[in-house]
């Protein structure tokens, strides 16, 4: 009887599983935009050393001037198609007729100066490669090859720094266009030369451990 009674005892209801806490990201990421979220999670702030990708992001950051990054991000596929997969050797050979045709391409920002700068910057990019062996070597030399992890407080990211001022001036001397200090700082963030994921973002690097002072 006791065994039967135990079999007929109703089971206690299972407790619902607790929902995992939402992932916290830098506050500039619109959570409803899956493409933007993917860019933040998989690209922004990660050290990039491939020349073609460095050229691509330099062009896209320049194209953003006066516009939102969301606009550029959603035209990225159009840019890759229009500008030969961001191969600077091919883009450097775009003649004036091809540049004029791009003014009718709805897949990119149809701004004459920005289109022309993409070609001008490709030629300057190749010159840097010839001088330094790669654009990556040139760029990363400004930080001795190591990313700067700033761990900024939420909303405390600067628009420009002494580093971006210095790189901007050097790029301008080398014939690059749309490389003002604000654009270059955004570029440094994008390619991971600077890591500006905020402290409350799940991708923020850990703080370096403090060294204990040794008493003499």
Local structure of 194: helix, strand or coil = strand
Q: How many domains does the chain have?
A: 1
Tens of pLDDT along 112-123? Answer: 999 999 999 999
Catalytic residues: 39, 61, 69
| pTM for this model (two decimals) | 0.86
Task: Count Cβ neighbours within 10 Å for each residue of 79-106 and write b for 16 or more, e otherwise.
Answer: bbebbeebbbeebbebeeeeeeebeebe
Give the domain CATH number at 128. Answer: 1.10.340.30
Per-residue pLDDT, 155? 77
Residue 207 in any domain: the answer is no
Q: What are phi and psi of 197, to 5 degrees?
A: -60, 130
- Where residue 165 falls (left for φ over 0; alpha for ψ -120 to 50; beta otherwise) is alpha
User: Is residue 146 classed exposed, middle or buried when 0-12, 13-18 and 19+ CB atoms within 10 A define those classes?
Assistant: exposed
Alpha carbon distance 151, 198 (integer Å): 5
DSSP state for residue 196 in the 8-state scheme: -
pLDDT bucket at 156, cuts 50 / 70 / 90: confident
Alpha carbon distance 75, 185 (integer Å): 21
Tens of pLDDT along 16-72? Answer: 565 556 789 999 999 999 999 999 999 999 999 999 999 999 999 999 999 999 999
Residue 215 in any domain: the answer is no
Residue 3 in any domain: the answer is no
Alpha carbon distance 170, 127 (integer Å): 13
Residue 214 in any domain: the answer is no
Residue 121 in any domain: the answer is yes
Residue 16 in any domain: the answer is no
User: Is residue 185 classed exposed, middle or buried when 0-12, 13-18 and 19+ CB atoms within 10 A define those classes?
Assistant: buried
Chain centre to alpha carbon of residue 99: 26
Which domain covers residue 190, as residue numbers?
31-195
């Amino acid at each position: 009887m006791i065994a039967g009674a135990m079999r007929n005892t109703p089971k206690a209801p299972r407790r619902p599983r607790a929902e995992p806490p939402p992932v916290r990201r830098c506050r500039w990421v619109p959570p409803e935009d899956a493409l933007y979220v993917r860019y933040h999670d998989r690209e922004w702030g990660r050290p990039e050393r491939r020349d073609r990708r460095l050229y691509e992001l330099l062009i896209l950051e320049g194209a953003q001037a006066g516009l939102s990054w969301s606009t550029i991000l959603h035209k990225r596929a159009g840019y890759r198609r229009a500008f030969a997969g961001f191969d600077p050797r091919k883009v450097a050979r775009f003649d004036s007729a091809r540049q004029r045709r791009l003014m009718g391409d709805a897949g990119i920002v149809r701004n004459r100066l920005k289109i022309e700068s993409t070609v001008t910057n490709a030629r300057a990019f190749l010159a840097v490669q010839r001088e330094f062996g790669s654009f990556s070597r040139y760029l990363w030399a400004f930080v001795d090859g190591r990313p700067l992890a700033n761990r900024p407080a939420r909303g405390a990211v600067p628009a420009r720094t002494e580093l971006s001022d210095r790189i901007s001036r050097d790029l301008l001397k080398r014939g690059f266009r749309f490389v003002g200090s604000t654009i270059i700082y955004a570029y440094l963030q994008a390619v991971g030369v600077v890591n500006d994921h905020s402290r409350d973002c799940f991708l923020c690097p850990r703080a370096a451990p403090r060294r204990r002072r040794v008493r003499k």
